[in-house]
Structure 1
Amino acid sequence: MDGTLLGDDGLVPDAFWPLLEDLHRAGILFVPASGRQYQTLHNIFGEHEGLIYIAENGTNVVQNGISIDVEPVESAIIAPIVDWVRATAATGADLGLVVCGARSAYIERSDAHFVSQVRQYYAAVEVVADVQAAALDDVILKLAIYDPSFAETRSGPALRELDLPSEIVVSGENWVDVMRHGANKGRALERLQHQLGISRAQTMAFGDYLNDAEMLDASGHSYAMANGHPSILARAVNIAPPSSEAGVVSSILAALPHLQGEPVHAR
Structure 2
Amino acid sequence: MTFPIQPADIRLIASDMDGTLLDADGQVPVRFWPLLERILAAGILFSPASGRQYQTLRAIFGDRDGLVYIAENGTNIVRAGVTIALEPVDQAIIPPIVDWVRATAAAGADLGIVVCGARSAYIERSDEAFVASVRPYYAALEIVDDVTVAGAADDVLKLAVFDRHRAETRTGPAVTALGLPADVVISGDSWVDIMRPGVNKGKALQRLQEHLGISRDQTMAFGDFLNDAEMLDAALHSYAVANAHPSIRERARHIAPSNLDEGVITSIIDALPALAPALA
Query: TM-score, normalized by length of structure 2?
Result: 0.92
The one-letter code matched in structure 1 to 2:177 is: E
How far, CA to CA, are the matches of 1:12 and 1:103 in structure 2? 25
How far, CA to CA, are the matches of 2:32 and 2:278 in structure 1? 13
The residue aligned with 1:12 is: 28
The residue matched to 1:205 in structure 2 has which SS?
strand
The residue aligned with 1:153 is: 169
The one-letter code matched in structure 1 to 2:47 is: V
The one-letter code matched in structure 2 to 1:66 is: V
The residue matched to 1:4 in structure 2 has which SS?
helix
> How do residues 14-163 of structure 1 correspond to structure 2 at under 5 angstroms?
14-163=30-179
Which residues of structure 1 form unaligned runs of 5+? none
Deviation at 1:87, TM superposition (A): 1.2
The residue aligned with 1:238 is: 254
1:174 to 190, 203, 206: 190
Structure 2 CA distance for partners of 1:89 and 1:262, relative to 1, 3 Å: closer
The residue aligned with 2:273 is: 257
Residues 65-108 of structure 1 show CA distances to partners (whole Å, capped at 9, x for unaligned) of 22210110011111111111111111111100000000000000
How far, CA to CA, are the matches of 1:106 and 1:261 in structure 2? 43
The residue aligned with 1:223 is: 239
Deviation at 1:262, TM superposition (A): 5.5
The one-letter code matched in structure 2 to 1:26 is: A
The residue matched to 1:146 in structure 2 has which SS?
strand
How far, CA to CA, are the matches of 1:126 and 1:263 in structure 2? 39
How far, CA to CA, are the matches of 1:262 and 1:114 in structure 2? 39
How far, CA to CA, are the matches of 1:62 and 1:84 in structure 2? 32
**For the aligned residues, what is the CA RMSD?**
1.0
The residue matched to 1:193 in structure 2 has which SS?
helix
How far, CA to CA, are the matches of 2:233 and 2:148 in structure 1? 35
Which residues of structure 2 form unaligned runs of 5+? 1-16
Residues 205-261 of structure 1 show CA distances to partners (whole Å, capped at 9, x for unaligned) of 000000000000000000000011111011100000000011101100000011124
How far, CA to CA, are the matches of 2:22 and 2:59 in structure 1? 14
Question: Matched residue pairs, number?
Answer: 264
How far, CA to CA, are the matches of 2:83 and 2:269 in structure 1? 30
Deviation at 1:43, TM superposition (A): 1.0
